[in-house]
Structure 1
Amino acid sequence: MSTPVMGEVAAHYAAVRETFEGHLDELGAGGAAFCAYVRGEKVVDLYAGRAAPARSWRQETPSMLFSAAKGIAGLCALVLYDRGELELDAAVARYWPEFAAAGKAGITVRQVLTNSAGLPAIPDYEDLFDLSGPDLGENFAAHEEIHRRMALSEIQYPVGSPAYHVLTFGYLVGALVRRITGRDLATFFEEQVRGPLGLELWFGPAARDVFDRAAQLHPLMPVPRELTELIESLERRGVILPSSSDPESICGRAFLAQRGIGVFDVLDRLGADPQFVSAGVGSGDALGTARGIARMYAVLSQGGELDGVRLVTPRSIDAFAKVRFRDPDPVLGRPAAWTIGFEGNTQLPLLGNIYGPSEAAFGKDGAGGQKGFADPDRRVAVGFVRSHLADFSPLTVRLVEALYRCV
Structure 2
Amino acid sequence: MRGVQGTTSPGFEAVTEVFARNFERYGEVGAAFAAYRDGEPVVDLWGGLADPATGRAWRADTLQLVFSGAKGLTSACVLLLAERGLLDLDAPAAHYWPEFAAAGKERITVAEILSHQARLPGVQQPVSNEELLDHAHMAKLLAAQPPSDDPRAGFVYHALTWGWLTGELVRRVDGRTVGALFAEEFARPLGLDVRLGLPDEEHHRVAVTLAGPGVLPSPQSEDEDSFRALTRNPLTAPDAPALWNSPAFRRAGLPAVGAYVTARSMARFYACLARGGELDGIRVLKESTVALARRELRRGVSPLWGTPMAYGAGYELRTELALFGPPPDTFGHAGAGGSRHGAWPGERVGFSYAMNLTRAEFPDRRPLDLLAALHDAVRR
SS at match of 2:2: coil
Q: Match of 1:289?
A: 262
Give matches, 1:108-147, under 5 Å.
108-124=109-125, 126=126, 128-129=127-128, 137-147=129-139
* Structure 2 counterpart SS, 1:138: helix
Aligned to 2:334: 365
8 Å Cα contact 2:117/2:156 also seen in 1: yes
Distance between the aligned counterparts of 1:211 and 1:27, measured in 2? Answer: 28
Counterpart for residue 174 of structure 2: 181
Partner of 2:290: 317
Q: Report the 3-state secondary structure (helix = DSSP H, G, I; strand = E; otherwise coil) of the residue aligned with 1:50.
A: strand
Give the counterpart letter for 1:107 in structure 2. Answer: I
Cα deviation, residue 256, structure 1 = 4.2
The CA distance in 2 between the partners of 1:173 and 1:243, in whole Å, is 30
Q: How does 1:147-158 map to 2 (within 5 A)?
A: 147-157=139-149
Q: Which residue pairs with 1:213 in the alignment?
A: 205
Instruction: Name the CA distance, whole Å, in 2 between partners of 1:337 and 1:280.
Output: 26
How far the C-alpha of 1:267 sits from its partner, in A, is: 4.6
Residue 172 of structure 1: aligned partner: 165
Instruction: Give the superposition deviation at 1:207.
Output: 4.7
Q: Call closer, same or farther: CA 1:33–1:145 in 2, change over 3 Å.
A: same
Aligned partners of 1:65, 1:334: CA distance in 2, in Å? 21
TM-score relative to the length of structure 1:
0.85
Kept after mapping to 2: 8 A contact 1:29/1:218: no
Residue 78 of structure 2 corresponds to residue 77 of structure 1: yes
Residue 7 of structure 1 deviates from its aligned partner by: 0.1
Measure the CA separation in 2 of the matches of 1:266 and 1:330. 27
- Secondary structure in 2 aligned to 1:170? helix
| Counterpart in the other structure of 2:278 | 305
Give the stretch that moved more between structures: 65-74 or 389-398: 389-398
Name the residue aligned to 1:342: 315
Structure 1 residues 171 and 306: CA distance shift in structure 2, 3 A: same
Q: How far is the alpha carbon of 1:356 from its aligned partner?
A: 0.4
Distance change in 2, residues 1:27/1:318 (3 Å): same
Q: Which range is displaced more, 32-41 or 142-151?
A: 142-151
Any idea what SS the aligned residue of 2:155 has? coil
Q: Return the alpha-carbon distance in structure 1 between the equivalents of residues 353 and 248 of structure 2.
A: 24
Residue 227 of structure 1 corresponds to none
SS of the aligned residue for 2:260 comes to strand
**Distance verdict in 2 for CA 1:41–1:282, change over 3 Å:** same
Output the amino acid matched with 1:248.
D
Structure 1, gaps ≥5 residues long: 130-136, 224-241
Q: Hey, what does 1:92 align to over in structure 2?
A: 93
CA distance in 2, matches of 1:36, 1:208: 29
Residues 33, 48 of structure 1: 8 Å contact kept? yes
- 1:376 matched to 2:345: yes
Please give the TM-score of this superposition, normalised by the length of structure 2: 0.91
Q: CA deviation at 1:123?
A: 2.9
8 Å Cα contact 1:374-1:381 kept in structure 2? yes
Q: Measure how far apart 1:93 and its partner are.
A: 0.8
Task: Say whether the 8 Å CA contact 1:167–1:255 is kept in structure 2.
Answer: no
CA distances 1:125-159 after superposition (whole Å, capped 9, x unpaired): x2x22xxxxxxx42233122211111111011459
The total of aligned residue pairs comes to 370
Residue 65 of structure 1 deviates from its aligned partner by 0.8
* Cα offset, 1:359, TM superposition: 2.0
Aligned counterparts of 1:110 and 1:310: Cα–Cα separation in 2: 24
Task: Give the distance between the partners of 1:255 and 1:384, measured in 2 at CA.
Answer: 26
Secondary structure of residue in 2 paired with 1:8: strand
Aligned counterparts of 2:360 and 2:99: Cα–Cα separation in 1:
38
Cα distance change on mapping 1:61 and 1:155 into 2, 3 Å: same
Question: What secondary structure sits across from 2:301 in the alignment?
Answer: strand
**Distance (whole Å) between structure 1 residues aligned to residue 105 and residue 313 of structure 2:** 20
Matched residue type, 1:116: Q
> SS of the residue aligned with 1:195?
helix
Percent of aligned pairs with the same amino acid:
36
